[in-house]
Structure 1
């Protein structure tokens, strides 16, 4: 068989491409080591929307303390209930709508150095609608040891239910501890978890956040308090919105020509701090009345045509749609990780760079560009920060 020069040239090109593919396959293990890519459970396309919601749901964790308004009384009462001298184990439930500031309030207490120094060890666990009992106990063990800068017990992954409970009970036996259970949906959670949290009469506290009144009320055999988070008053919501939307303006005040539209937009937030902060962040980049009107019309359409979407999710969806494409790619990439998976900042930046998501900018390193992407996503209420 005689091959024509053209066919030989085509086969040569195909051979070169195959060689390049083989070379890439050979260095993949090296890339995994370089970028510290471990095996994690992925999700399929059907789960992406749910994963996106889970990342945005808890984004109130990075609302700055000077952005917290309307919960001063709750903050004072909650702090008192944590350190009131009562020695019996106490369960404190913070109940409110999604985006009402439950997690923000509890995070403020949890990160308070006075509160932390009051307890021997502490742990923060996000529960969500689905959880695995044994994984929950493993997370508690890790968090408690990290809070005291101690090395965690070896081979936790191989421990069964009884062993995990015994480890927790033994570790907590003579300690005053604080546990936060964030975003609880299951009324039976307390029955599941209390076996591993001994009441040693040293003043230990368990705080939980939930949208469901029946979850907050279900606490058998323990002292319990319930704090209800109310929506912001109109003046509080307006003040918070202006701080975010007009941060670059003198006195952070709303221009007169935008007052009517701004007032209508704030009204759509129904007094929910996360909605106000997210919408204010979105509007901070809009300068003309035309742009403001466009956002207002889009939000109205979302609320009228997507009845299943709550106001917070509608506003977060608008914020996401407004992101530049490179930032969308970076954000959606994070949906490939399991829910509540903690990603270190530097590692995430390396992964974005390895995937080719970072645009080239003159005189700025790719790492610096990636850092700016991350900060913009944080400002836009897309990430939960630890």
Structure 2
């Protein structure tokens, strides 16, 4: 009996386990009517989640951010899972047709069981994947690229020189290579081609760095450019030159690197910058970038002149060859003069060009280059365009000039005489800028802070300074620590000492003809009371970005008409980015009856003198004075972090 009972219990347990197994399997079949709609809903949610993530990634990529690896992995998983789920749902229609007894049985139990199990598994996988998609961020700043590809200009027959330099870099034991040649010969173009070649040709260098040096190079700026290439944080720029040098050396000494220094005029102290010097076993070499051979020069000149002008008369090609020969194979001259001749379609115009170029011959090469390039300046259609071009050389080398700011300078100086309002003059200025760009007298330099900018090629700027040597004094970006000799100011119409390190203006210059004065981006702390006393015709005054200047000349209010109140013809006054400005005497701004453009930006922090000061308290006093200026058309006032009032350009 005991044995029978034991056998019976074992049989019962076996039957119960079997029943549980059957019921568990049957559940996959019985619940298909519930699980299939649930799967469809889960699939739609997953698709929506995937689309949201992709949209965030697309937005991030447009901002040049790099998608996170986990996000890319999630998207690569979501795609196939969505496809598989869609296939399951499509197969579900057939499975539902196979159910002949409601949810209780199936014509093909085994098939329905397997299908139901797949549906349940897919539901779980989709649920898990949706949960993983809770990304706080989908992208981050990319690591610095080993090579930043730069826009290329026409190679102007530099292939053999490029290959020679490339061989020195990658195949021979050369540590430093110096490229030299005439201004405008194509050294920057060659360097750009080399830079980009590192991104397309196999090599074992880990980082390629590009930096512009300029005549009066700034070690800190070179270090900042290197820092961008090696991936240091933005705050790193606030370090001292010595500390930056230590950091740069620490990074580059462990890498194989190439540093390309453009616009090099004198020796750069590599140790001061932080660039590890090559070992003593590595050689140094110089490679000359020559002017173009006559055949290649003629090809380039033809390309810039164009078929329409060359074919306008049978004799013009021969005359054009003579003009091209006068360029001496200098690519910049060929391009500039070629474009200037693109609209010349008569024999008289071409013969005149040849005669003009012959008269400008000079034994001194630099002067000859200037006179060659001056031909494109002389060929501008009117005096207005020529004056506007020369105005640009008041800015330093490699300086990106906002187009809108040029319009304001030109308008206030009276160069744009066809219109009475700045908004209307914009059309004329656009035409002038485009004409100067087409003539290669200006270059596009992209956008800075959302504003389109132009700049002058160094040789072109030097030519402009040479042209204006008797009417303008330009010491912009010359690393001056003291004001220039005031006697040099006496006869000029325009003066620029912007982007220097001048701290004090102590002299009282006599400038009866001065119309424009750029003092921006210095380290001014003191301006003498009578500094502006003898500038009766000053129209444009830019004092912006003098961060250490706290008070405009005290003599303004005490010694009438000494000081700024003498500037009765002033039309543009720029005091923007003067964070430490503490005092502007009352009735000063209101005395500028002809003022049309006024900008000011100061911090709003600290103590402000409460006597005779429009900056004391809020800026109601200043606004009240500005209300009386009937000609004012552009007004921008901003108190940093505290108050902002801005009237947009009309």
1:102 maps to what in 2?
187
Which of 327, 331, 356 is the aligned partner of 2:385? 327
Distance 1:111 1:328, change over 3 A: farther
CA-atom RMSD, angstroms? 3.6
Measured after TM superposition, the shift of residue 253 of structure 1 is 5.9
Which of 252, 255, 273 is the aligned partner of 1:172? 252
Contact persistence 1:100–1:229 (CA under 8 A): yes
1:193 maps to what in 2?
270
Q: Helix, strand or coil for the counterpart of 2:340?
A: helix
- How many residues were matched structurally? 285
Matched, 1:231 2:311: no
Inter-partner Cα distance in structure 2 for 1:63 and 1:299: 30
Gaps of 5+ in 1: 1-60, 202-219
Contact persistence 1:123–1:140 (CA under 8 A): no
Higher-Rg structure is 2
1:381 maps to what in 2?
440
Any idea what the Cα deviations from partners look like across 1:178-205, whole Å, max 9, x if unmatched? 322234343xx25x2245211588xxxx
Matched, 1:142 2:224: yes
Inter-partner Cα distance in structure 1 for 2:182 and 2:365: 15
Contact persistence 1:349–1:367 (CA under 8 A): no
Contact persistence 1:275–1:311 (CA under 8 A): no
1:293 maps to what in 2?
351
Matched, 1:350 2:410: no
Inter-partner Cα distance in structure 1 for 2:226 and 2:307: 39
1:241 maps to what in 2?
301
Measured after TM superposition, the shift of residue 90 of structure 1 is 1.9
Which of 281, 305, 315 is the aligned partner of 2:372? 315
Inter-partner Cα distance in structure 2 for 1:239 and 1:299: 20
2:6 maps to what in 1?
none
Any idea what the Cα deviations from partners look like across 1:286-306, whole Å, max 9, x if unmatched? 2211112222222112225x8
Any idea what the Cα deviations from partners look like across 1:29-59, whole Å, max 9, x if unmatched? xxxxxxxxxxxxxxxxxxxxxxxxxxxxxxx
Contact persistence 1:89–1:199 (CA under 8 A): no
Contact persistence 1:103–1:182 (CA under 8 A): yes
Distance 1:385 1:120, change over 3 A: farther
Inter-partner Cα distance in structure 1 for 2:440 and 2:392: 14
Contact persistence 1:71–1:105 (CA under 8 A): yes
Contact persistence 2:223–2:245 (CA under 8 A): no
Measured after TM superposition, the shift of residue 227 of structure 1 is 2.2
Inter-partner Cα distance in structure 2 for 1:221 and 1:367: 59
Distance 1:286 1:254, change over 3 A: closer
Inter-partner Cα distance in structure 2 for 1:155 and 1:309: 37
Q: Helix, strand or coil for the counterpart of 1:256?
A: coil
Contact persistence 1:92–1:226 (CA under 8 A): yes
Range that drifts further, 115-124 or 313-322: 115-124
Contact persistence 2:208–2:257 (CA under 8 A): yes
Contact persistence 2:209–2:258 (CA under 8 A): yes
Measured after TM superposition, the shift of residue 269 of structure 1 is 1.6
Measured after TM superposition, the shift of residue 143 of structure 1 is 1.2
Measured after TM superposition, the shift of residue 62 of structure 1 is 8.7
1:9 maps to what in 2?
none
Measured after TM superposition, the shift of residue 283 of structure 1 is 0.9
Q: Helix, strand or coil for the counterpart of 1:174?
A: coil
Measured after TM superposition, the shift of residue 233 of structure 1 is 1.9
The two structures have a TM-score, normalised by structure 2, of 0.39
Q: Helix, strand or coil for the counterpart of 2:361?
A: helix
Contact persistence 1:269–1:275 (CA under 8 A): yes
Matched, 1:64 2:153: yes
Inter-partner Cα distance in structure 1 for 2:188 and 2:312: 29
Measured after TM superposition, the shift of residue 261 of structure 1 is 1.9
Contact persistence 1:174–1:200 (CA under 8 A): no
Contact persistence 2:174–2:283 (CA under 8 A): yes
Contact persistence 2:211–2:261 (CA under 8 A): yes
